[in-house]
Structure 1
Amino acid sequence: MILNVLILSAAIFVVAQLLPGIRIKSVLTAVIVAIVYSIINFLAGWLLVILALPLIVVTFGVFKLVINAFLLWVTDQLIEDFEIDGVLTTLGAAVLITVVDAGIKWLF
């Protein structure tokens, strides 16, 4: 679990460097964002997936990225040192975080 949080932290930090609409204060903030995002995903993510299951099936899983973007937006609202500008940036960040996170996990 700690390794997953560290990997997610790295993914969030990389995406914050790539996208101009994301501001993150420090590496420690990336770790805090990863922890908060993981907790929110654990507490509410499964429920959102169940509620949106028909849309997830119809879109072949693409709607799950919308759920991830929503969870990322909630995280943005909770953490002062983490800012995302706009819906499209949030959706793009969710896609990139998912890809970078999967890529890093694949390497390790």
Structure 2
Amino acid sequence: MIRFIIQAVVTMVGLWLAAQVVPGVGFTSTGSLIAAAVILGLINAVVRPIMVVLTFPITVVTLGLFLLVVNAAMIGLTAVFLDGFAVQGLWAGVGAAIVTGVVSWIAGAFIGGDEKRG
């Protein structure tokens, strides 16, 4: 449970930064930002693995770059479920996916995983 909360906070920071940097990504309130981080975490846990398996051939052909489109689709799906979160088109979603991914990568470097415990 604590791992999900940490991941939600990291996702929230990534989405906030994406809203600041990427044109076409925005929030109406802090509550919307928190809800978007939680919903995106749930979508990434349930829907994203299915999409990664279904799009595996395209991902192989594009040498993994298609995963940006899958991540953008997950962010767009979050925007569909949440009225206070807006993503204006595919490129805004791709930009948000890149920013959120970089923030998660940097946070993972500082936080570490299970292999660094005990």
**Contact residue 25 and residue 87 of structure 2 kept, 8 A:** yes
Give the whole-Å Cα distance in 1 for the aligned partners of 2:23 and 2:47: 28
**Contact residue 18 and residue 95 of structure 2 kept, 8 A:** no
Cα distance, 1:28 vs structure 2: 2.6
Match of 1:90 among 93, 99, 112: 93
Give the whole-Å Cα distance in 2 for the aligned partners of 1:76 and 1:91: 13
- Using structure 2 for the length normalisation, give the TM-score: 0.84
Give the whole-Å Cα distance in 2 for the aligned partners of 1:95 and 1:107: 19
**Contact residue 36 and residue 78 of structure 2 kept, 8 A:** yes
Gaps of 5+ in 2: 112-118
**Contact residue 40 and residue 74 of structure 2 kept, 8 A:** yes
* Aligned residue identity for 2:16: F
**Bigger Rg, which one:** 2
The aligned runs of 1:1-108 (5 Å cut-off) are 1-108=4-111
- Identity score, percent: 27
The structure 1 segments of at least 4 consecutive aligned residues displaced by more than 6 Å after TM superposition are: none
Query: What is the total number of aligned residue pairs between the two structures?
Result: 108
Q: Deviations over 1:57-92 (max 9, x none)?
A: 222211111111111111111101101112211111
Give the whole-Å Cα distance in 2 for the aligned partners of 1:36 and 1:20: 22
Give the whole-Å Cα distance in 1 for the aligned partners of 2:49 and 2:25: 26
